[in-house]
Amino acid sequence: MPSIAVVLLGLALVVVVALLVATAAGVLARLDGATYPSALTRGAVAFATTLTLAAALTGALTQLLP
């Protein structure tokens, strides 16, 4: 059983990666000519998608581990 510190550090890492993905998506959308609200929406969708993917992978890996 992992300690609470390891779980919190893993959670922080996932959130930081999701923020980086969201920032990159927003910047790329803005460079493509999107308006600020549209770029913010694309960043928010990328953030939510990244967190959803991380949760799905965690659930799948939990099923595989004994």
Say whether pLDDT at 57 is over 90.
yes
- What pTM value is reported for the model? 0.89
- Provide the 8-state DSSP code for 24: H
**Mean pLDDT computed over 14-22:** 98
Q: What percent of the chain has pLDDT over 70?
A: 100
Say whether pLDDT at 2 is over 90.
no
pLDDT band at 65 (very low <50, low <70, confident <90, very high): confident
In the chain, the amino acid numbered 43 is: G
Q: Please count the CA atoms within 13 angstroms of the CA of 25 that sit on its side-chain side.
A: 20
Separation in Å, CA 61 to CA 9, 27, 54, 56, 64:
18, 32, 10, 9, 5
**Mean pLDDT computed over 49-66:** 93
| Alpha carbons 32 and 12: distance in angstroms, whole number | 30
| Alpha carbons 36 and 55: distance in angstroms, whole number | 29
